[in-house]
Amino acid sequence: MAKKVILLVEDNPDDVDLTLRAFKKNNILNEIVIARDGAEAMDFLSAAGKFAGRDLDDVPQVILLDLKLPKVDGLEILRRIRSDERTKLCPVVILTSSKEEIDLLNGYKSGANSYIRKPVDFNQFSEAVRQLGLYWLVLNEMPPVGRKV
């Protein structure tokens, strides 16, 4: 059985720390891979760059994706995820501070499973992460990897 890895695609170090603290507070002990820009996220998903040699069949259990990223923006990453046979069914939760309605609409049009605006308050953010972890890591059942649909 594949590991339940979380891919966190986030360029803001404070938001990375906040997310990791919220996971720890809620006893979410899954391996968390952090991609700090869009190109690094693509490298992880394609087993390139510093992720060369990674098993491509280890698809993340969930991808937490910021939209405003350097090098490759979040919506382009989402489009590439959905166009790849290996990752097209992978749950993608947009986790962003963007309040732009167009980002919300484009996120869903591009195939996001969920869109969460990051609360500024740590307790609210921690509760959102707890619920996210419970649903995507415990309750949600992933399709088998490598099967054609």
pLDDT in tens, 8-57: 999 999 889 988 988 888 888 889 999 999 999 999 999 999 999 998 88
The closest alpha carbon to 129, from 32, 1, 3, belongs to 32
Distance CA 31, CA 38 (A): 20
Per DSSP, 118 falls in state P
Tokens of 93: 């939760």
Averaged pLDDT, 130-148: 68
Q: Does domain 6-137 have CATH number 3.40.50.2300?
A: yes
Q: Where are the domains of the chain?
A: 6-137
Q: What is the largest CA-CA distance in the chain?
A: 42
pLDDT in tens, 81-107: 999 998 999 999 998 888 899 999 999
Q: Which residue has the higher pLDDT, 144 or 51?
A: 51
Bridge partners (DSSP) of residue 64 are 8, 93
